[in-house]
Amino acid sequence: MSNAKDLLISWFGSPEKEGFFAKLFPSYEYRKQQLEMALAVAEALDNQEHLIVEAGTGVGKTLAYLAPIVASGKKAVISTATKTLQDQLVRKDIPLLLNAVAANHFRDKNSVCILKGRVNHLCKRKLGRFEEEILKGRLVNLFGMYENYKAFGQFMKVFKNWIKGTSTGEISELVAELANKRLVSFSPDTLNIEERLGHVLGASTDQCAGPRCAFFNSCFVVNARKRASSAKLVVVNHYLLCTDLMGKVSGSFEIVPSADVLVIDEAHHFADAISHAFTISYHSSYLEKLAEELGFATGRKGKIWEEYTRIEENISNHHKALLDLLDQSLASKSGDLSGMLLKDRRSSLQQVFHDEKDICNFQNVVKAIAENYRVIRLLLDEGSEEHLSPIAMTDECHRVLNQIATNSSLDSFIWFEIGDQNFALHLTPLNAATYATEPLFESYSSIIFTSATIAVANSNGDHNFDFFIEHVGVDPSTRSLAIGSPYSYEEQMICFIPPAHFPMPDEPDFIDAVLQHAVPIIKAFPGGTLFLCTSYRNMKVIADNLRRELPDRRILVQGENSRSHILEEFRVDTGSILVATGTFWEGIDVPGESLQVLLIDKLPFPSPSDPLVEGRCQYIAKSGRDPFLDYYMPRMILALRQGIGRLIRSSRDRGVVGIFDVRIRRKGYGRKILANLPPCRIIENFDDLANFVLT
């Protein structure tokens, strides 16, 4: 350890001596918190221990875990929450470090590898069909991205060039090419272009013919996995890592290669990723995919195709019967016979059905759909390569639907989602982490969990990792460490919380009062404002009012353009106001004048109508605990801290946070919320704010 420690100190530097990084990276600043984290990670690697480390905003946690891994020469898997963060690690952070330290173990160009889910890669077998579809002139509609053949022709030009040159088949490369040529248009109502291309051309599991595929040896997915097994650093995302876990638990497949070290960055998303990966789902759209596969296998003619079309109609009728059942039950409960109750609905079965008869009817319809898939399966020939994918699909639908129909476990629950054209049924385990993470701890000698928001402070300010430990299934004796931010919040940030007589969030004059206070705060600062809302409804009302009240300021609203475009505009137009919700509470890094005011309408409690929240709370209540204290509060506090973390992004930033939820002052739990805010001054009147602006 002392060698590694000396090496890391020579890289990061110390208060007395400038380090190697300071000489190489012009913007590098020595931060004792970053060195503390790097040394803690190095110690965990050396002792083959696991570590949970919360690294406050500005610590520079990526370098703090990458540097000890590179110094140790150990093989590591790094998991991030999103594909964008994966790309950032592989394209920016890792090459920067490796070039700087010229690490011996990482000289080979294949020592670093990115591994994404299958649908992110082009399937060569589907490519053949794609060409066939072009010849039939059907593709403009299939993509739904281009309005006419001229635009589609331009797309095809870029596409053909990309096919010739790509070694990875990653669809994101193609999208980047299209964006360069300005051939990507954005519409808030449509799937993003990458998802759409993945849907049509991606190497999805259920449509893959496996080793019997004619393209198996040159398959992009197969090759990506081969590269990953020989790489020293493999970058994955949580969803892929958890899918791999699911494969390991069921003994059916492995995707992520074994390694010495696993880093789970953005670890606050990991519990949800486990829950997601262990959910089994039936999507009504599988029927269209199956028709596509069978249509290709049979040429849409002959006995199998005729039989299939007859059974397909049966399944469609059962789908309709299922929706009618849900609709009738909701209508009889609410007295609303509009037939609109199922529109865009996401709900647990429990919220819809109360009596045994309804549940029994539901199970019978689901069993009938499963049975129809079994009958289709009997038509297929295992000896035919073209039948392999329909066989896998029908087997899977039959298995999943039977499991949903016969589920009697108290440790899982059924919920559904209804979209415009399709619906999905899901079976989610209530506490997957308790058994899911076991193979994880067996596979890696050191696992480092890290994020800016893992711990929750109690009213006295003491940090506690219990919520995270329970939800991820970590051994409670695992070493945990909370490293504070290097920023001086007392000087850099002030927090406005209105006085106790301010309307509560459920009172009718709440939004008016928010706007009355928000407008002068925004006007007091020349720089940009980020207004984080807790619902689309509030977002819309607030954005409309701000447009009226502040006609000379540019108002950007989530959904009016792509996220990346909106953020770029927000960064460039330093006086603009961005009103957003959901994903904008995280991952926004806008230092300087572009973000000086951060406003929050309400405390971001999870929605009780969300079926996953409902399921989790049931589980907590069943174990005799209080869902409000043990679930709603910690989740809200972590989300609030993520949101507030958007404001101060460098040691030169200064700004104000306004939280218009007066429950912080009126409710007993308010003290706990205050203990979780950065250590800044809390004010309730404008004079104090004006003084802060002037200093």
Q: Which is nearer to ligand SF4, 221 or 380 (CB)?
A: 221
Minimum CB separation of residue 173 from ligand SF4 in Å reads 17
Nearer to ligand SF4, 213 or 543 (CB): 213
- We find the least distance from the C-beta atom of residue 123 to ligand SF4, in angstroms, to be 3
Task: Kindly state the smallest distance separating residue 327's Cβ from ligand SF4, in Å.
Answer: 38
Instruction: Return d(Cα 424, Cα 363) in angstroms, integer.
Output: 15
Compute how many residues bind ligand SF4; rule: CB under 6 A. 11
Strands, E assignment, 288-399: 346-348
Shortest reach from residue 117's CB to ligand SF4, in Å: 12
Q: Which is nearer to ligand SF4, 186 or 215 (CB)?
A: 215
Geometric angle at alpha carbon 445, from 235 and 81, rounded to 5°: 30
Q: Which is nearer to ligand SF4, 123 or 648 (CB)?
A: 123
- Between 39 and 208, whose beta carbon lies closer to ligand SF4? 208
Q: Least CB distance from residue 256 to ligand SF4, whole Å?
A: 18
Q: Could you write out the three-class secondary structure of 615-639?
A: HHHHHHHHCCCCHHHHHHHHHHHHH
Query: In sequence order, what are the residues at sequence separation of 6 or more whose Cβ sits closer than 8 angstroms to the Cβ of residue 674?
Result: 664, 682
Nearer to ligand SF4, 117 or 658 (CB): 117
Residues 469-508, one symbol each (x = binds ligand SF4 by CB under 6 A, - = not), give ----------------------------------------
67 binds ligand SF4 (CB under 6 A): no
Distance between CA 515 and CA 325 in Å, rounded?
43
For ligand SF4, give the closer residue by CB, 129 or 367.
Answer: 129
Complex with ligand SF4: residue 388 or 481, whichever CB lies closer: 388
Task: Characterize the bridge pairing of strands 280-283 and 423-429.
Answer: antiparallel
Nearer to ligand SF4, 198 or 643 (CB): 198
What is d(CA 289, CA 135) in angstroms, rounded to the nearest whole number? 20
Confirm if 50 and 44 have CB atoms less than 8 A apart: yes
| Site track 214-253 with ligand SF4 (rule: CB under 6 A), x = hit | -xx--x-x--------------------------------
* Distance separating alpha carbons of residues 423 and 343, to the nearest angstrom: 10
**Can you read off the two tokens belonging to residue 84?**
């964008």
Q: Which amino acid is at 640?
A: L
CB nearer ligand SF4, residue 209 or residue 262: 209
Cα angle for residues 395, 399, 405 (degrees, 5° grid): 145
Instruction: Output the smallest distance, CB 171 to ligand SF4, in A.
Output: 13
Residue 662 phi/psi, 5-degree rounding, is -80, 0
**Residue 125 C-beta: closest distance to ligand SF4, Å:** 4
Contacts with 520 (C-beta within 8 Å, 6 or more apart), sequence order: 686
Listed in sequence order, the residues at least 6 apart from 333 whose beta carbon sits closer than 8 Å to its beta carbon are 352, 354
Say if strands 346-348 and 412-418 run parallel, antiparallel, or are unpaired.
Answer: antiparallel
Minimum Å gap between C-beta 198 and ligand SF4 is 12
Going by their DSSP bridges, the two strands 529-532 and 280-283 should be labelled as unpaired
> By C-beta, is 126 or 649 nearer to ligand SF4?
126
Residue numbers 548-607 binding ligand SF4 by CB under 6 A: none
Residue closer to ligand SF4 (CB basis): 392 or 474: 392
In the complex, minimum distance from the CB of residue 191 to ligand SF4, in angstroms, rounded to a whole number: 21
Contacts of ligand SF4 in 173-212 (CB under 6 A): 203, 208-209
Mask 74-103, x = binds ligand SF4 (CB under 6 A)? ------------------------------
Residue appearing with tokens 């301010």: 502
Enclosing H/E stretch for 233: strand 233-237
**Look-up: residue for tokens 């006007």?**
523
Q: How far is CA 467 from CA 65, 454, 473, 634, in A?
A: 23, 8, 10, 7
Query: Residue 386 has which token pair?
Result: 């073209």
Which of 98, 213, 341, 567 touches ligand SF4 by CB under 6 A? 213
| Beta sheet of 423-429, edge-to-edge order | 280-283, 423-429, 412-418, 346-348
Residue 209 CB, nearest approach to ligand SF4 (Å):
5
DSSP E strands, 484-583? 493-496, 529-532, 555-557, 577-580
Pick out residues in 104-143 that bind ligand SF4 (CB under 6 A): 123-125
Smallest distance, ligand SF4 to C-beta of residue 119, A: 10
Least Å from the CB of residue 203 to ligand SF4: 3
State in angstroms the smallest separation of the CB of 128 from ligand SF4: 9
Nearer to ligand SF4, 296 or 487 (CB): 296
Region of 586 on the Ramachandran plot (φ > 0 left; ψ -120 to 50 alpha; else beta): beta
Task: Give the binding site for ligand SF4 (CB under 6 A).
Answer: 123-125, 203, 208-209, 213, 215-216, 219, 221
